[in-house]
Amino acid sequence: MKIKIKNNSSHALPAYETEHAAGMDLRANLSEAIIIEPMERALVPTGLFLEIPPGFEAQVRPRSGLAAKKGVTVLNSPGTIDADYRGEVKVILVNLSRETFTVNDGERIAQLVVAPHAKVEWENGIELSETSRGSGGFGSTGS
């Protein structure tokens, strides 16, 4: 599948780093570093603009290494980029650590996954079918 992209950054296009990778790294596109204090968040631009085809979305997800090593993750994870959005892709990072985190230009800050999605029509029904789980919620299937 080919997706149109406009790259206003000075960095290479997102690419799959390994043969079976699902996500491509997104890089910060900054004229100056962004400092994120503990328990604060920042909107980080990428310089990328996408034209996602109808029936697909692009999901912005955290990078596991950044989360594990630095305590920095994507706040609205996964963030969805809809097929009709044409603005710049930006990433909401949150610093959940006890240390200040600095985002530098070109730093890998998130992953981008392109995935199909379904559109549904609601069928307003009075009764739902029974299942073995029923209405059991969080933790109802055991530990």
pLDDT digits (tens, 9 = 90+) for 52-82: 999 999 999 999 999 999 999 999 999 999 9
pTM of the model: 0.89
How far are the Cα atoms of 26, 75, 140 from residue 2, in angstroms, in the given order?
Answer: 18, 28, 43
- CATH topology for 4-116 is Deoxyuridine 5'-Triphosphate Nucleotidohydrolase; Chain A (2.70.40)
> Does residue 143 carry a pLDDT above 70?
no
Q: How far is it, in rounded angstroms, from Cα 89 to Cα 46?
A: 6
Question: Average pLDDT in the 97-115 region?
Answer: 98
125 pLDDT band (50/70/90 cuts)?
Answer: confident
